């Protein structure tokens, strides 16, 4: 959870937190206001305010244009606006996709818009710095369950964006980086604490947030993040590009057992304990299971036989029921064939009706086809329900449907179509959430099941010609990590 506004990236912001010895790191470097067109105010110090709803691309563009109109150029854009979404702990099977859409619109799509319009004015000048606020929650691949899934996913998608475009922008002399702070006492944190712990005082709320940070002798403050932004905006970071600058005092490096606390601290630390309890249980369970498995590897050759060639000929999925989205062609079709070969019954869910029916007929009586546009949650739910109605249960859901979007020429980030971005994210990311949600709805009561999601190497490595696809697949990876602990 990050504060909604770290001080805006304006010319005064870029020098306001510097020490006397280095107070001119970015002299006279205009930066976009942290808001946009609409009401505009200007102070005597040269700092300006403009209203901006970042979910409206036109307003983001207007903020950029205002900086250029007023100062003749734009050197820095800090995409910092964000919201936490609904903070109430919710089972994966009950996730609200409308809330997911709201969080993604502000925390991810708006960052894409900010990068796009920054590129529009920076690329012709062959210089500039774009900074995007991510979060330690975006490192859910290291520590699962750090934050509410919607928020974690949105911030991991920001890192996917930075990695997807930084290489391309480097050819134009523009740098794109992220900052990932840990929990900070900010207005957003205040709202979050009131929602999570309504019976606590303001001081208790502050202490809860501050105690989450583990570095002794220091408290993480908004100014620490601001100084990181100053560094990334300045020429001192002239060769820093595609980087995620983590400002967390070592929180994500590794977890230790909670520090010892005195009796007087017990009551005020209860909330902190609640936040860390699930993590500590998971760590203990992981160690126990690791020791159990390793013990078997040293005492029983049977462990290795599970991976032998002989074992691979058995029907590993006998009695299993699977739904495969995008199952009429490509990876989906090949997987359906392998599942059936291994004893499973498969429902092929796709929008290619003729092809889907043909594939189902080809695969035989253990395959069935149903139309499913995964961008429509109701149709995803219906595919899951069909499997349960027909076979009594669902064992495997393979979220495999995907679209690549438009393949574009490089060095043309400013022309990115956000409507195209929405289409790709709806199929490649949002639909994954829907699939996991409805799989959990029928699997969790049985305490058994497996959900698979097709990601891509593009979600890890930059592919400049398909940045939107890369972002969507990075988001899919983040969704898996954020929900696996739920």
The C-alpha atoms of residue 85 and residue 100 are separated, in whole angstroms, by 8
Q: Which of 81, 4, 85, 82 is nearest to 482 (CA)?
A: 85
Q: What are phi and psi of 322, to 5 degrees?
A: -130, 145
Q: What is the DSSP string of 121-160?
A: HHGGGT-EEEEEE--GGGGTTTSTTSS-HHHHHHHHHHHH
Q: Which of 323, 436, 422, 405 is nearest to 369 (CA)?
A: 323
Q: Which two tokens stand for residue 451?
A: 């959900």
Q: How far is CA 3 from CA 274, 278, 322, in A?
A: 22, 24, 42
Q: What is the DSSP string of 386-450?
A: HHHHHHS---EEEE----------SS-GGG--HHHHHHHHIIIIIHHHHHHHHHHHHHGGGT--E
Q: What are phi and psi of 179, to 5 degrees?
A: -120, 130
Angle at 298 between CA 296 and CA 300, to 5 degrees: 55
Neighbours of 399 (CB within 10 A): 28
Catalytic residue list contains 135: yes
Catalytically annotated residue among 116, 151, 154, 369: 151
Rounded to the nearest angstrom, the gap between the alpha carbon of residue 478 and the centroid of all alpha carbons in its chain is 5
Whether residue 64 contacts residue 414, with contact meaning beta carbons closer than 8 Å, is answered with: no
Whether residue 131 contacts residue 158, with contact meaning beta carbons closer than 8 Å, is answered with: no
Catalytic residue list contains 154: no
The two beta strands, 40-42 and 48-50, are: antiparallel
The C-alpha atoms of residue 248 and residue 232 are separated, in whole angstroms, by 17
Catalytically annotated residue among 26, 36, 135, 269: 135
Dihedral sign of CA atoms 147, 149, 153, 154 in order? negative
What residues are annotated to the active site?
135, 151, 155
């Amino acid at each position: 959870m990050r504060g909604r506004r770290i001080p805006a990236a304006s010319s005064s912001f870029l020098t306001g937190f510097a020490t006397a010895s280095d107070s001119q790191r970015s002299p006279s470097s205009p930066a976009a206001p942290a808001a946009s067109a609409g009401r505009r105010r200007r102070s005597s110090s040269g700092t300006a305010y403009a209203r901006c709803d970042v979910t409206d691309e036109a307003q983001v563009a207007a903020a950029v244009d205002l900086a250029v109109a007023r100062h003749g150029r734009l050197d820095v854009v800090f995409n910092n606006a964000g919201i936490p979404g609904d903070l109430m702990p919710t089972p994966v099977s009950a996730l609200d996709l409308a809330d997911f859409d709201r969080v993604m619109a502000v925390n991810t799509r708006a960052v894409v818009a900010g990068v796009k319009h920054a590129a529009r004015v920076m690329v012709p000048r062959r210089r500039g710095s774009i900074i995007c606020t991510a979060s330690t929650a975006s490192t859910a691949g290291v520590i699962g369950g750090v934050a509410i899934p919607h928020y974690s996913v949105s911030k991991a998608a920001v890192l996917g964006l930075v990695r997807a475009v930084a290489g391309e922008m480097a050819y134009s002399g523009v740098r794109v980086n992220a900052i990932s702070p840990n929990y900070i006492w900010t207005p957003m944190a205040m709202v979050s604490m009131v929602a999570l712990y309504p019976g606590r005082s303001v001081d208790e709320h502050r202490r809860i947030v501050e105690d989450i940070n583990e570095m002794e002798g220091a408290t993480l403050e908004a100014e620490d993040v601001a100084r990181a932004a100053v560094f990334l905006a300045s020429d001192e970071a002239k060769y820093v590009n595609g980087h995620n600058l983590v400002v967390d005092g070592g929180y994500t490096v590794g977890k230790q057992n909670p520090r010892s606390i005195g009796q007087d601290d017990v009551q005020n630390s209860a909330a902190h304990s609640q936040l860390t309890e699930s993590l500590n249980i998971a760590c203990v369970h992981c160690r126990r299971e690791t020791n159990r498995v390793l013990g078997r590897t040293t005492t029983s050759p049977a462990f290795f036989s599970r991976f032998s060639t002989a074992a691979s000929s058995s029907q590993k999925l006998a009695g299993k029921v699977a739904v495969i989205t995008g199952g009429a062609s490509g990876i989906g079709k090949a997987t359906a064939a392998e599942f059936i070969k291994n004893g499973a019954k498969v429902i092929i869910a796709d929008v290619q009706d003729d092809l889907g029916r043909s594939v189902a007929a080809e695969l035989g009586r253990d395959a069935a086809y149903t139309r499913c546009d995964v961008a429509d949650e109701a149709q995803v739910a219906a595919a899951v329900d069909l499997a349960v109605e027909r076979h009594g249960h669902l064992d495997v859901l393979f979220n495999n449907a995907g679209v690549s979007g438009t393949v574009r020429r490089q060095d043309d980030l400013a022309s990115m179509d956000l409507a195209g971005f929405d289409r790709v994210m709806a199929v490649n990311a949002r639909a994954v959430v829907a699939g996991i949600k409805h799989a959990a709805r029928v699997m969790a009561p049985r305490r058994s099941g497996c959900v698979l999601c097709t990601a891509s190497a593009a979600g890890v490595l930059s592919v400049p010609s398909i940045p939107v696809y890369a972002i969507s697949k990075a988001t899919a990876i983040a969704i898996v990590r954020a929900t696996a602990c739920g």
